[in-house]
Amino acid sequence: MSGPTTVVVTPGSITVLLAAAAIEALRSVRDAARDAERLAQAHAEQTQARREVQENALRQGVQALQAATAAAQARFASLLALAGPLGMAEQVEAMRPAAPEFAESDQLAAYAAGLTALADKVGAVLLAEAARQKDKMAELPADLALPAARKGLVQRQLERIAPLGAIPQNIHDLAREFEAALPGERAELLANELRHAVQMRLAAAEREQVQVATALVIEQTLKDLGYQVEEIPQTLFVAGGVVHFRRAGWGDYLVRLRADAAASTINFNVIRAVEAGSNERTSLDHLAEDRWCAEFPALLRALEARGIGLSVTRRLAAGELPVQLVDRTRLPSFADEQEDRPRAQPKAREIK
């Protein structure tokens, strides 16, 4: 039995980034499919002449779809080639959507869109990881007196962070100072400072990407497990915050997830929505905590499979602390909570 539970979050950077990339790709394809369905419904009552024109265009479009599919497959193959030296080929290959058995236009379109979206997201992750893992042993030329050698070192360093956007001013200044320094100990020192600054920039960017990806993966994993989830902000693990989730049928009970960004921890605890001023206790609180305790291990396993390790550091027994009562107006509203809310004991909830 378990009451409030605290866990330490230890995301496996490249694994959780790839998991988030796959989730984003799937969402983009689903959004496109919904848009296409709405468009089809809007044109459901076209004239026969328009249908014939559309059918002719569709036949011509099949060839374009086949070409787009071939291009997407080739691009994904190039990503696999990039993933191999990074030790991620098997994981990337496992994300590849199955090709349609029949060359129907809608199936080809969905497959090509899915593969392209996946390549966009996974490609960005792999390129960043390739920059991070780039061999640094050969980045410091033996002869720092050669201007060409210095420019080559600077170019290699700046290329590592080029995908991250504008070059920070401190790195830009270090690069210029290094190029202008006289040969010797100071030049070597500046070269090391430049390399360190670039590595710190890469580490900071990766940390932020992992934090954003972790929020996305947790939100989607909860949904995949059947929970209704308050929208989780991308900054949850950057600045901390609180979100809530529940199952249909839980009535007034929710689970509150509180993230502490500084400590890299998450606290889970069962709460109950009440009317303003109500502070009654009920035996159902204990049952709600037991129910969440039984489901919690499944969440841990699902997150671990997507690269997020959660190590339990604090777990209180059910009933050791009273379930927190929260004013209903301060909580998110879910679609079916009005139907799920118990109606048989309206007066009991007004008594402490």
Domain ranges of the chain: 5-11+227-350, 14-132, 134-206
Helices marked H in the chain: 13-42, 48-83, 89-95, 105-133, 147-161, 169-180, 185-224, 236-239, 284-305, 337-340
Strands 228-229 and 5-11: unpaired
Q: What per-residue confidence (pLDDT) applies to 40? A: 52
Q: What per-residue confidence (pLDDT) applies to 49? A: 46
The whole-angstrom separation of Cα 75 and Cα 193 is 37
Distances (CA, A) of 46 to 12, 52, 140, 164: 52, 10, 68, 48
Dihedral angle computed from the Cα positions of residues 340, 343, 344 and 347, in that order, rounded to the nearest 10 degrees: 130
Beta carbons of 241 and 259 less than 8 angstroms apart: yes
* pLDDT in 10s for each residue of the chain, 352 residues: 456 777 877 766 778 888 888 888 887 777 665 655 554 555 554 445 455 544 554 555 667 777 878 888 888 888 888 888 888 888 888 888 877 776 666 777 777 888 888 888 888 888 777 777 764 434 444 344 456 667 788 888 888 888 888 899 999 999 988 888 877 788 888 888 999 999 899 888 888 888 889 899 999 999 999 999 998 888 888 888 999 999 998 999 999 999 988 888 889 999 999 988 777 888 888 899 999 989 999 999 999 888 888 888 877 766 677 888 999 889 988 876 554 444 444 433 343 3
Q: What per-residue confidence (pLDDT) applies to 138? A: 43
Amino acid residing at 25: A
Dihedral angle computed from the Cα positions of residues 92, 93, 96 and 100, in that order, rounded to the nearest 10 degrees: 170
Q: What per-residue confidence (pLDDT) applies to 292? A: 92
Q: What per-residue confidence (pLDDT) applies to 268? A: 92
Residue with tokens 């950077």: 13
Angle between helices 147-161 and 185-224 (to 10 degrees): 20
Q: What per-residue confidence (pLDDT) applies to 144? A: 47
Query: pTM to 2 decimals?
Result: 0.69
Beta carbons of 175 and 159 less than 8 angstroms apart: no
Q: Is the dihedral of CA 325, 330, 335, 341 positive or negative?
A: positive
Could you say which DSSP state residue 44 is in? T
The whole-angstrom separation of Cα 230 and Cα 333 is 9
* CA angle, 101 then 224 then 239, to 5°: 125
Beta carbons of 260 and 237 less than 8 angstroms apart: no
